[in-house]
A and B are shown apart, each in its own frame.
Chain A
Amino acid sequence: MKLSYRVFWMPKAGLSTEEYEDAFAPQEIPEKDLKEFRCAVSDGATETSFSGLWAKILCEAFLENSSDRAALQALWLKEVSGKNLPWYAEEKLEAGAFASFLGLYLKEEKKTISWTANAVGDSCLFLIREKKILLAMPLDRWESFDYTPALISTKETSNAGLEKEEKRESGIARRGDIFYLMTDAISKWLLRREEEHKDAIEQLEKIETAEELKTLVDEQRQSKDEQGRTLMTNDDITWTRIAL
């Protein structure tokens, strides 16, 4: 299968790119026919420490089809420990890091492309067909975003019941289908704007450069609805676009 893969990302307004705590993988893909394809996004929780690193580890492990969570947790711990930390940083590490996760796997067999997605938390997959959202998961209503989502932790004791929270969807993709993998702020915005017939997909499909996304995001972060809520929450933004 041939596909186009693009990633757009930007940190919260007022923060530097070093402080961006989402992650995605792969960084880019070779231009050739692929039998299978994997990609992922993850959103490191703001209130935890070294969560951007944890998000990156989760995404990269998905590319390798590695599901050994204990090994990933050990890798995170190895990266963050051994430093001489003040009392609060030690305590923060003790609480662990948390991140959402969303992975998409595409496979071509006998000219049919099947897809499987799995998700924990509020990063969302959208299957776009003919400029409409055919499927959104794990959340499909914009009102659902304000609740505390289940997240994957570097501490196994905090992962109790996580399997129940994991959502999985699969299907057959058609040529011309587009998948979006998005972290929460832009996912929520997309669902709400589509529900209100504001043609968000059309706006997004016109975007070719990081600068163009920034213009749109800055504008949506500043605009308010009649109740005074901003149209897009000020959060890290990650949007990967996979077009078949």
Chain B
Amino acid sequence: MELFGALITLLGSIILLIAAIGLVRMPDVYNRLQVGTKASTMGTLLSLLGIAIIHPTWAGKLIILILFVLFTNPVSSHVLARASHYINIRISKRTVVDKLKVTDRAFKVGEVKK
């Protein structure tokens, strides 16, 4: 059982390593955020879950930590994505469509006409 927990922790650290590689390889801010959020959430979750399996009397605190990471990590990535769209960070050339920009432009034109 303890060996199983240790292997889960190792799997979590491998996922964190994938997150780091993705952070370097992806072309623009939004793709980095995508890779970073998903993989780092799952990596931390698995690492702490492995510790909780090895040492079950600490499970309460570890569960609180896991829930905390699971709730706050998507919120912070959402806030960062919104800020980077607001200050016009350069978007990758491979982007197909940007509906938010189109909507913003229509909104501004409508305001000018009023």
Do A and B make up one complex? no
